[in-house]
Amino acid sequence: MEETVNIFKRKYKYAADYGFILGGYIAVFFILDFLFQNNAFVGILETLGLLCTPIVCYYISKQYRDKAWGGYIRFGQVWSFGIWLFLFAGLLMAVFYYIRFQFLQPNYIAEQVNQSLFLAEKLYTKEQMELLTSSGIPSAIQVVLASLWFYILGGAILFLIISPMIARKNPEETNQNSGTVKTYEPYEENKDKNEKSE
C-alpha cells in the first residue's frame, strides 16, 4: 500500500514540476501574442512553438522515465503522466487566460465571437445562425474552463502518440516473468503419465 502511494506521489510531483515548465513554454507565446498583436513575426513564432510542443513533451517524458523510473516505464504510466502534465500546464495557462480576458482585454472574447459569426453568415442558413447565437457570448470563466478541458483532451491524444516512443520494458522483469510462466504441453504431459504408469 505504501509503495502504491509513493508511485502516485512521484507521478504527481513530476507532472506538477514538468507541467509548470510546459505551461511556462506555452505562456511565452501567449504573452508575445498579447504584447505584439497582429504581428506577422510573432505569428510565425507561435506556429513554430505549437509545432515544437510534441518535441518538448517527448523530452519531458524521457526525463520523467529516466529520473523517476530508472529508464524503464510502461505505456499506461507515460500516458497518465501526459494527462497530468497537461492538466498542470493548463492550470497555469488558465490564470493567464483569466487575467487577459477578465481584466486586460475584457472585449476580446466578444470581438472573437463576432468575427466568427461574421464568417459563419456566409456558410450557414438563417436558422443555423440563430442556433449559434442563442447561447450568447461566453464569459471569461467559461472560456478558461473550456481551454482547460482542451488542454487535458489534447494531452491525452498527444500522449497516445508519444507514449509508445517512451515506454521501455525492464529486461529484469521480463526475464523473471519468463522464468515463472509455464506453457501447457499436452503431448509431453501424456507421455510422462504413460511412463509413470509402466
pLDDT tens sequence for the chain (198 residues):
556 668 788 889 999 999 999 999 999 999 999 999 889 999 999 999 999 999 999 999 999 999 999 999 999 999 999 999 999 999 999 999 999 999 999 999 999 888 888 888 878 877 877 877 787 889 999 999 999 999 999 999 999 999 999 999 988 765 555 554 444 444 455 455 455 445
* Cell matching residue 49: 512553438
Residue 188 lies in a domain: no
List the domain range (segments joined by +) for residue 80.
2-170
* Residue 186: inside a domain: no
Q: Is residue 36 assigned to a domain?
A: yes
On the CB side of 8, CA atoms within 13 Å amount to 4
Q: What is the dihedral of CA 138, 139, 143, 149, to 10 degrees?
A: -90
The H or E element containing residue 107 is: none
147 part of a folded domain: yes
In sequence order, the β-bridge partners of residue 73 are 168
pTM of the model: 0.81
Our count of domains for the chain comes to 1
> Does 163 map to a domain?
yes
* Helical spans, DSSP H, in 70-139: 75-99, 108-120, 126-133
Longest Cα–Cα distance of the chain, Å, equals: 94
In a domain? residue 47: yes
Q: Say if 194 falls within a structural domain.
A: no
Asked whether residue 190 is assigned to any structural domain, the reply reads no
Please give the Cα distance from 85 to 131 (Å, whole number). 36
